[in-house]
């Protein structure tokens, strides 16, 4: 008989672990009678800002909205170029376009999968030389899979060319770069609280964080029709309010974030040690990084065969992401790219695969995943 299936992610496991606390928090929202924004959202915003060591967090409806709101709040829209990577969730690029700006896609560091500072600078210069219709305005570095970008290099480039920096922290809750928490180094940062995230709600939610009080005030207006006084729009805005039910859930989950991240790192350490001799490309971790392993991503040239073998062995996988944004039908041949293309981005797209990774997976299932992988590679060598 096949053993129980091991999913690649399992947000229900975190809910079940904290079920009573979560349900108590949700009931308090329902009983309190305030169902849009209100004290529950404000409490989470303050707690999350304090966790990061920042002054302001502004809750919104999703991580996609958070990027859009951050750019809108910084005045970045039509005629502006925003530099980001193609190896990311399409949400990053969709949010830039929703703000009215033009996404310009740069290459990645092939070992870490994060934005290449060299490619960023080359692309900024290329846009300045070839696109007089676009004014370079911002960079959105994506802390992919839980590994932070090389922020010193990116911040230096952004400062030299006058660009704002909005960190995409959708996969990096609690990650650190040289001791600095992801989301605290740019002008603003955007977080997603999608259920599978390291800090996950039980529905959609997001937040923008910043130390800039004026920007925070603008974001609070922007998320609610541009209101600075009720029903009076000072500027065009949107409707992107964090649901207080999700805020209540997040306040519970936040108290467990560091413990959950430590569990993810322990799982990753076990996998990397067990699989070191397999021939898989294992996740790279820079010496200056504290990785939080939102995903545990390996590389295999025989990905379809490996995925099929794992599935038949009762182990779930996923691919993040099967096509980089610039090759997807909605974006192909219409977005500006780095002058030499995106060779590193394209080199990984047919090899990457995400293995099971969530704090509640348990050591027995982690060992089973590693054992099955070793069996696959041992059989291949025979």
CB atoms within 10 A of CB 356: 22
Please name the residues in contact with 184: beta carbons below 8 A apart, sequence gap of 6 or more: 52, 53, 54, 209, 211
Q: Summarize pLDDT for 267-284 with one digit per residue, the tens.
A: 999 999 999 999 899 999
Cα 25 to Cα 298: distance, rounded to the nearest angstrom: 38
pLDDT band at 380 (very low <50, low <70, confident <90, very high): confident
Q: What letter does residue 131 receive in the DSSP assignment? A: -
Residue 276: burial class (beta carbons within 10 Å; 0-12, 13-18, 19+): exposed
By C-alpha distance, which of 354, 346, 269 is closest to 307?
354
The whole-number average pLDDT for the span 128-144 is 98
Which two tokens mark 367? Answer: 């060992």
Positive or negative, the CA dihedral 331, 335, 337, 339 is positive
Q: What is the pLDDT of residue 334?
A: 95
Range 12-106+113-254: architecture per CATH? 3-Layer(aba) Sandwich (3.40)
Chain centre to alpha carbon of residue 380:
35
Q: What is the pLDDT of residue 1?
A: 39
Query: Does position 77 have pLDDT exceeding 50, yes or no?
Result: yes
Q: Is 67 helix (H, G, I), strand (E, B) or coil?
A: helix
pLDDT cut 70: percent of the chain above it: 99
Please name the residues in contact with 369: beta carbons below 8 A apart, sequence gap of 6 or more: 6, 271, 315, 355, 356
Q: What is the pLDDT of residue 236?
A: 93
Which two tokens mark 243? Answer: 């649901």
Q: Summarize pLDDT for 185-225 with one digit per residue, the tens.
A: 999 999 999 999 999 999 999 999 999 999 999 999 999 99
- Output the average pLDDT for the chain: 97
Cα 141 to Cα 169: distance, rounded to the nearest angstrom: 9
Q: Summarize pLDDT for 302-328 with one digit per residue, the tens.
A: 999 999 999 999 999 999 999 999 999
By C-alpha distance, which of 253, 285, 275, 321 is closest to 89?
321
The whole-number average pLDDT for the span 96-108 is 98
* Domains of the chain, residue spans: 12-106+113-254, 257-381
Query: Which pTM does this prediction carry?
Result: 0.96
Which CATH number is 257-381 given? 3.90.1150.10
Q: What is the pLDDT of residue 382?
A: 63
The whole-number average pLDDT for the span 222-240 is 94
Q: What is the pLDDT of residue 190?
A: 98
Q: What is the pLDDT of residue 379?
A: 85
Q: Summarize pLDDT for 148-158 with one digit per residue, the tens.
A: 999 999 999 99
Query: Does position 3 have pLDDT exceeding 90, yes or no?
Result: no
Q: What is the pLDDT of residue 2?
A: 53
């Amino acid at each position: 008989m096949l053993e129980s299936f091991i999913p690649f992610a399992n947000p229900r496991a975190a809910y079940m672990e904290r079920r009573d606390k979560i349900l108590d928090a949700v009931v308090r929202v329902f009983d309190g009678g305030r169902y849009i924004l209100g004290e529950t959202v404000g409490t989470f915003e303050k707690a999350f800002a304090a966790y990061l060591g920042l002054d302001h967090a502004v809750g919104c409806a999703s991580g996609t909205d958070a990027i859009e709101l951050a750019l809108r709040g910084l005045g970045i829209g039509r005629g502006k170029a925003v530099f980001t990577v193609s190896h990311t969730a399409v949400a990053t690029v969709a949010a830039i376009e929703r703000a009215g700006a033009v996404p310009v896609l740069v290459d990645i560091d092939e070992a870490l999968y994060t934005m290449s500072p060299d490619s960023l600078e080359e692309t900024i210069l290329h846009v300045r030389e070839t696109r007089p219709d676009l004014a370079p305005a911002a960079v959105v570095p994506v802390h992919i899979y839980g590994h932070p970008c090389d922020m010193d290099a990116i911040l230096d480039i952004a400062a030299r060319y006058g660009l704002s920096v909005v960190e995409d922290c959708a996969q990096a809750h609690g990650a650190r770069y040289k001791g600095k928490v992801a989301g605290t180094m740019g002008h603003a940062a955007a977080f997603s609280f999608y259920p599978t995230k390291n800090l996950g709600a039980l529905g959609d939610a997001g937040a923008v964080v910043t130390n800039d009080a004026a920007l925070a005030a603008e974001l609070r207006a922007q998320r609610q029709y541009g209101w600075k006084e009720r029903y009076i729009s000072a500027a065009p805005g949107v409707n992107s309010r964090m649901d207080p039910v999700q805020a209540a859930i997040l306040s519970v989950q936040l108290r467990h974030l560091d413990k959950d991240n430590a569990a993810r790192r322990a799982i990753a350490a076990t996998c990397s040690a067990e699989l070191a001799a397999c021939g898989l490309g294992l996740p790279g971790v820079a010496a200056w990084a504290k990785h939080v392993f939102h995903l545990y991503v390996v590389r295999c040239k025989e990905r379809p065969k490996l995925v099929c073998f794992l599935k038949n062995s009762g182990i779930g996988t996923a691919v993040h992401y099967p096509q980089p944004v610039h090759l997807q039908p909605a974006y192909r041949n219409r977005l500006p790219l780095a002058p030499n293309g995106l060779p590193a981005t394209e080199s990984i797209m047919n090899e990457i695969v995400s293995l099971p990774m969530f704090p509640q997976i348990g050591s027995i299932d982690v060992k089973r995943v590693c054992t099955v992988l070793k069996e696959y590679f041992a059989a291949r060598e025979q």
